[in-house]
């Protein structure tokens, strides 16, 4: 079946730098994409989402980019802070079907 | 406060026992979901329900059972048939086709 995958399992960035986390998807019918942040021992928290009719969406310090041509999704975090250290998951949604999650990328911020 | 709650936070089970994990939401969401997360892994779907009195198997339903008698509640039973139940269990809810909100999780350990 289709799956949502991630290019890098771990990412280390210096505090204050920008972070970019990447994700690939395989189903061209996917119409909804979400990024979640999960801190240790807690449930995932919603960060930002984007629908397939858009290619960019911005939030507070975060930007999601969607490239439908190559089926690629990225999360950009500006001015990364120690509190951003967590595991980040992308997920793929199609209509009313449940989200399919990737394995996640661990972001470590170096002070 | 509106939200999704799970109980207990930690649960210990002896081999051969069935245990039930609670999930309650007061967000008036139609859909509810159960995921399993193993260390360093992503989320795998166990069961989901899009409406009261109806539910569907996810990718790893064997050894688990659910019920959806009320819109607010979606309990998960881990049966003795589940060979390796030690994991972190996450419940989520959503409006159909929209972001999923997650509970804080239940960590189940088999003794």
Higher model confidence: residue B28 or residue A9?
B28
A43 vs B contacts (CB less than 8 Å)? 90, 92, 102-105
CA separation for the pair B43, B26 (Å, rounded): 23
B104 vs A contacts (CB less than 8 Å)? 42-43
Asked whether the beta carbons of B80 and B18 are under 8 A apart, the reply is yes
Low-confidence ranges of chain A (pLDDT < 50): 1-3, 5-8
The pLDDT assigned to A97 comes to: 84
B35 vs A contacts (CB less than 8 Å)? 101
Cβ contacts below 8 Å, chain A against chain B, sum to 47
CA separation for the pair B50, B62 (Å, rounded): 20
The pLDDT assigned to A5 comes to: 47
The pLDDT assigned to A93 comes to: 85
Peptide bond preceding B8: is omega within 30 degrees of 0, i.e. cis? yes
Query: What average pLDDT does range B88-100 have in this prediction?
Result: 90
Query: What average pLDDT does range B42-57 have in this prediction?
Result: 95
The pLDDT assigned to A3 comes to: 43
Contacts with B45 (C-beta within 8 Å, 6 or more apart), sequence order: A98, A100, B33, B34, B35, B58, B59, B60
Query: What average pLDDT does range B58-84 have in this prediction?
Result: 95
In terms of CA atoms, which chain B residue is nearest residue A5?
B42
The pLDDT assigned to B1 comes to: 55
Q: Tell me the shortest Cα–Cα distance from B82 to chain A, in angstroms.
A: 22
């Amino acid at each position: 079946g289709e799956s949502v995958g991630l290019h890098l399992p771990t990412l280390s960035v210096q505090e204050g730098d920008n972070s970019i986390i990447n994700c690939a998807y395989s189903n061209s019918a996917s119409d909804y994409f979400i990024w979640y942040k999960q801190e240790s021992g807690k449930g995932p928290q919603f960060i930002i989402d984007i629908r397939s009719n858009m290619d960019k969406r911005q939030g507070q310090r975060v930007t999601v980019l969607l490239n439908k041509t190559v089926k690629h999704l990225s999360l950009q975090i500006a001015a990364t802070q120690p509190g951003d250290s967590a595991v980040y998951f992308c997920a793929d949604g199609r209509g009313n079907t449940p989200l399919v999650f990737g394995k996640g990328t661990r972001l470590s911020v170096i002070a | 406060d509106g939200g999704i709650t799970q109980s207990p936070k930690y649960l210990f089970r002896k081999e051969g026992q069935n245990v039930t994990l609670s999930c309650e939401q007061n967000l008036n969401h139609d859909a509810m979901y159960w995921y399993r997360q193993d260390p360093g892994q992503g989320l795998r779907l166990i069961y989901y329900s899009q409406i009261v009195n109806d539910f569907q198997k996810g990718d790893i339903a064997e050894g688990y059972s659910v019920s959806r008698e009320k819109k607010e509640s979606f309990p998960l039973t881990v049966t003795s048939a589940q060979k390796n139940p030690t994991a972190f269990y996450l419940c989520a809810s959503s409006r159909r086709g929209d972001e999923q909100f997650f509970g804080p999780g239940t960590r189940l350990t088999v003794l």
